[in-house]
Structure 1
C-alpha cells in the first residue's frame, strides 16, 4: 500500500493537544452545536481503552511430555517438531512452516537445543530443554508475536472513542496477520470513518511489552 498523508483525523475529532494524552471512557454523541473544523493533526499517544491489552502473545513455558525414544537413547525430534507446530498454531493463530530440529539428540536431563521455523515468511526459533532423561522436554519460544487483528481492534476502540464515530482500522503489515518481534516497532495503519471511506487518517501504532497499543497521527 502506497504511503499517504492525510491532513485531518476522521470527522468529529476534537482539537489535538500537544504531548501524550490518556483518554478516559468514551463519551458518545457530538456536543451542542456540533464540532468545529479540526486543525491539522499533531502527534498524539492514546492509552488503551476498553481493556484490549492482548496484542502481544509470548510463547513461553510450554511443556511437552512423553516424547518417543529412538534406539532407547535418542529423542524423537520429529515429534518435537510436530508439537512446536501444534503449540504455535494454538497460541499465535497461525501454523508455522519449515519446522526443523537437529537429529540425534541424546537423552540428558538439563541439556537444551534449538529448533527453527518460519511464520508467514518470518524466521522464528525455539529453545527445547530436557527436564528429565525420560523424554520430557520444555519448549520455549525465543520470539514475541504481535497479533495485527488485535492492534486494529484497539485502534478502532481508541479512535472511535476519540472521534465519536465508528471507524475501521487497517494496518499495512505486508500481508502478515502476525508480526514477529515487533514490540516497539512502528506499524503504519489507516483509520477510516465507517460511514465514509473518504474520511480517513494515517496513524502509526506501537505495541509495548505489556501488549498495550498506542498511536500517533502520521
Structure 2
C-alpha cells in the first residue's frame, strides 16, 4: 500500500515563523526624567560669598520727622518748656529706641500762636535739635525733628537678608559706627560694614552700605 504524500510548507520570509520568540536581554536602564521640551535647565547654585556685587534695595530704616505734643502753661503768658523737654525725650526714645540726653529748651517762651523756638539734645553723643511751633495760644505745640535717624540694627539685618539671598549661605553683618546704635543725619553717607559667612569666619567681605532718603538700603564692595 502506498504511503500518502504531503506538500512541503513554503519557506522564506513570506511564510509563518514558528521558532521561539527572541525577547533579548531586558533593558533596565534609568528612565529619562529630563526637562520637558522648551524648558532650559536651571543653573547650578554657586557659593559666592567671596565675590558679592551690590545694588539691591531693601527695608526702610529712616526714623524721625514729625512728633506732636502739648506743652502746659507755666504762667499767665509763658510756656512750661520743661514739659517740652520731657516730651521731646520721651518721643525721641520711642522713635529711635535710644533716650536722648542733655535735652534743653529756652526758658520764658511767650505764648503766641505760630511762634517757634528750638530745643537741643544729644543722642549717643551726636547733637540733635527740634523745632517747636506753637499751634495756638493755649499751650499746644508741634515738635519737628531737624534730623534724620538711621537704625544700625535694621541696616545690618537688611544686609543679612540681601546678601544671604544672593550667596545662598547664612551671613552675619556688622557695621562700624563707633558704637552708635542710631546714626544721626547719615542718609546718603556710606557706612562701612563687614559681612561674614556664618559657617566660616575667615570668609568675609567689606561693603559700604548707603541709606537713601526713602529709607532703602543699598551696598557696594568697599
Interval of TM-score (by shorter of Structure 1 and Structure 2): 0.7 to 0.9
Q: Which residue of 2 aligns with 1:63?
A: 68
Q: Deviations over 1:79-134 (max 9, x none)?
A: 00000000000001100000000000010000000000000000000000000001
1:47 Cα offset (Å): 2.6
Distance 1:134 1:163, change over 3 A: same
Q: 1:126-165 maps to which residues of 2 (within 5 A)? A: 126-165=130-169
User: What's the Cα RMSD here?
Assistant: 1.9
Distance 2:46 2:215 in 1: 33
**Structure 2: how far apart are the matches of 1:96 and 1:134?**
27
Matches of 1:213 and 1:139, distance apart in 2: 27
Indicate the SS of the match to 1:204.
strand
Match of residue 119 from structure 1? 123
Q: 1:45 aligns with which of 46, 51, 55?
A: 55
**Aligned pairs (5 A) from 1:55-204:** 55-60=61-66, 62-65=67-70, 67-204=71-208
Larger Cα Rg: Structure 1 or Structure 2? Answer: 2
User: For 2:114 and 2:212, how far apart are their aligned partners in 1?
Assistant: 32
CA contact 2:50–2:205 (8 Å) conserved in 1: no
Q: 1:168 to 1:198 in 2, by over 3 A?
A: same
Q: TM-score, with normalisation over the residues of structure 1?
A: 0.78
Corresponding residue for 1:20? none
Give distance in 2, aligned partners of 1:31 and 1:197: 27
Q: How many residues align?
A: 181
Give runs of ≥4 in structure 1 deviating > 6 Å.
none
Higher relative contact order (CA 8 A, sep 6+): 1
Match of 1:13 in 2: none
State whether residues 59 and 88 of structure 1, in contact with CA within 8 Å, keep that contact through their aligned partners in structure 2.
no
**Uncovered stretches (5+) of structure 2, i.e. residues with no partner:** 1-41
CA contact (8 A) 2:50 2:204 kept: no
**TM-score between the two structures when normalised by the length of structure 2:** 0.77
Alignment counterpart, residue 205 of structure 1, candidates 206, 209, 214: 209
**1:163-212 per-position Cα deviation (integer Å, ceiling 9, x unaligned):** 00000000000000000000000000000011111111100000000000
